[in-house]
Structure formats: structure tokens, C-alpha cells
Structure 1
Amino acid sequence: MTNIAASMAGSVWKVLVAEGEEVKEGQDIIILESMKMEIPIAAEKDGIVKKIHIQEGDFVNDEDVLVEIE
């Protein structure tokens, strides 16, 4: 299992995947907004989205787990 974490503090602007969805390495799965910039967060490996820990509009801190991929 791989945990995908936030690379910086910000708001969750968009969740691009759903639980149970297949993702590919490098695919954008979350978009954070910080200081009026959009920061894409990509899958680090191929797999299935097991759990999404956040919702659009949530505030996250650096290193908070966003998604689990297995």
C-alpha cells in the first residue's frame, strides 16, 4: 500500500479520482490550491484507490495523507 501525502499546506481544490478507481503512475489524482496556485498531486505507482482521506474544500498540512493506493 502506498500513501499519497500533501507536498505543502493548502486547500483541496479538486479530487480527480474515486475509491475503487484504477490509477496509473504519474496520473494527477488531487489538485491543491495554495497561494492562488494550483498544485497537482500525482499517483506514485499504478494501482487501485483504496481510500480517500479528504474532501474538496478541506485544508491539509504538509505530509498529511490524502489517498491510499494499493
Structure 2
Amino acid sequence: MKHVAANMAGTVLNILVQPGDEVSAGQDVVVLESMKMEVPIQSEVAGKVSEVRANIGDFVNDGDILVIVE
């Protein structure tokens, strides 16, 4: 099991994947808003999304797990 974690604190603005989606390394999976900037969070691994742990509007901290990839 691999995961995609937030690399900064911010608010979840958009979730671009859902469970069952195939993702590739480098693909944007979540968009955070921090200091009025939109920051895309990319998957570092390829695989299938098994779980999305964030919701739009959630505040997340650096290191929080956003998406689980198998």
C-alpha cells in the first residue's frame, strides 16, 4: 500500500480522483489552497486508488495522508 500525502498545510479545494481510478506517477490527485494559491498534489506512484481520505473543504497539515494507492 502506498499513499499520497499533503506536502504543506492547506484547505482541500478539489479532489481529482475517486476509488477505483487508475493513477500514474506524476498525476495530479488533489488540489490544495494555501495562502490564496492553488497547489496541485501529485501521486509519486502508479496504481489504483483504493481510498480517498480527504474531503473538499477539509484543512490538512503537512504529512496528512490524502489518497491511498495500491
TM-score range, shorter chain: over 0.9
Q: Deviation above 2 Å: which 4+ runs of structure 1?
A: none
Question: Which sections of structure 2, spanning at least 5 residues, go unmatched?
Answer: none
Which residue pairs with 2:11 in the alignment?
Answer: 11
Superposition TM-score, scaled by structure 1 size:
0.97
Superposition TM-score, scaled by structure 2 size:
0.97
SS class of match (2:55): coil
Cα separation, 1, equivalents of 2:43 and 2:13: 17
Which residue pairs with 1:49 in the alignment?
Answer: 49
Alignment of 1:53-64 (within 5 A): 53-64=53-64
Q: Among all aligned residue pairs of Structure 1 and Structure 2, give the percentage whose two residues are the same amino acid.
A: 53
Compute the RMSD of aligned alpha carbons.
0.6
Distance apart, 1:37 and its partner CA = 0.5
